[in-house]
Amino acid sequence: MRVLVTGGAGFIGSQVVEQLVERGADVVVLDSLAAHDDAPDYLPPVVDLRIGDLMDEDTVRDAVHGVDAVCHQAARVGLGVDFDDVTSYVSDNDLGTASLLRALWRRSFTGRLVVASSMVVYGEGRYRCAVDGETAAAPRQAEDLRAGRFDPPCPRCGAPLEWVLVGENAPLDPRNVYAATKVHTEQLAFLYGREAVASVCALRYHNVYGPRMPKDTPYAGVASIFRSAYEAGRAPRVFEDGGQMRDFVHVRDVARANVLALDSSWSGACNIASGQPHSVLDMATALAAGFGAAAPAPQVTGEFRLGDVRHVVASAALAGDVLGFRAEVGFDDGMAAFAKDPLR
């Protein structure tokens, strides 16, 4: 099988490439290398590396030629700096996806398409009110956050809410620019699937961490930011009260989910998560343990970013049922290894 992996030199894409090559697949990587000084030495030498941007029509046309399946990982990720990033996100994620899909359409591609999505498409997770039952939380207000009221109240009665697992049938409610582009990526891919009669699977990643994660940029994930702080001998700054609940899933598990999805013909969206929710403060503490007794304790600051959500924890049941995916890397072991993993 010949597989195109866009963004195949990146954090998640390169791990997908490695697992595909280990299985004997013929792999084409399309990557702009914008985040690299040169082609990374961890890419297997048998890979057919095409250096170029998704907006380059000739490059994309050549990359999709003759492939049986596509794994679309290329994207600008993270919350970014502020709304001034909007054109970069839309260009890289929306227009980049559209350019890829147009190239596939022009060659009448009807093979397997797997696209990287994110938990951020849900906005705030799902909640349950003791009075009103399961409900969606309204966007948090700056005045509440400044006052230290981090948990959203019930939008109907104002009572405290309890978070519950988010299933794939939850309404999509993007609350930052990156999230909006991921919703659109899914919509474009599924529309292509209907028009071209191709099977499409969108994998909604939760908080991915592990080797080759980018560091020291505004677009790095929270695990990478905390890791960089510990390496510099500083206490990581934990926003809000550290009680934000997330699901931290190892990149090797995420890559394996992509390979399973490429092998499957099931169409739809799947949460890709460990099934072991932890708070952001839990993560900072577990990562500190990997650095040893001399690591400074995490500093809970009360700071906040208005585009962040409080709790979002997924149900991983569907991916187990339709893809056979279950995470294998445990939280404590994964975080201990991450303290020493090479970052990009």
The per-residue pLDDT for range 104-161, each reduced to its tens digit, is 999 999 999 999 999 999 988 899 999 999 998 888 899 999 999 999 999 999 999 9
Please report, for residues 39, 119, 140, 213, 330, the alpha-carbon distance to residue 218 in angstroms, rounded to integers and kept in the order given.
23, 19, 22, 13, 27
Is the predicted pLDDT of residue 216 greater than 80, yes or no?
Answer: no
Burial 115-124 (b: 16+ CB within 10 A, else e): bbbbbbbbbb
pLDDT at 317: 97
Say if CB 167 and CB 115 are below 8 A apart. no
The answer to the question of residue 91 being in a domain is: yes
Distance CA 97, CA 333 (A): 35
pLDDT at 11: 94
Distance CA 119, CA 122 (A): 6
The answer to the question of residue 45 being in a domain is: yes
Structural domain including 270 reads 2-126+165-339
pLDDT at 218: 58
The answer to the question of residue 22 being in a domain is: yes
Please report, for residues 7, 124, 297, the alpha-carbon distance to residue 312 in angstroms, rounded to integers and kept in the order given.
26, 6, 25
pLDDT at 219: 55
The answer to the question of residue 137 being in a domain is: no
pLDDT at 125: 87
pLDDT at 20: 98
The answer to the question of residue 156 being in a domain is: no
pLDDT at 37: 76
**Which positions ≥6 away from 147 have C-beta within 8 Å?**
none
The answer to the question of residue 138 being in a domain is: no
Say if CB 202 and CB 270 are below 8 A apart. yes
The answer to the question of residue 135 being in a domain is: no
pLDDT digits (tens, 9 = 90+) for 68-120: 999 999 998 876 667 888 999 999 999 999 999 999 999 999 999 999 999 99
How many domains is the chain built from? Answer: 1
pTM greater than the 0.85 cutoff = yes
pLDDT at 163: 95
The answer to the question of residue 222 being in a domain is: yes
CATH code assigned at 281: 3.40.50.720
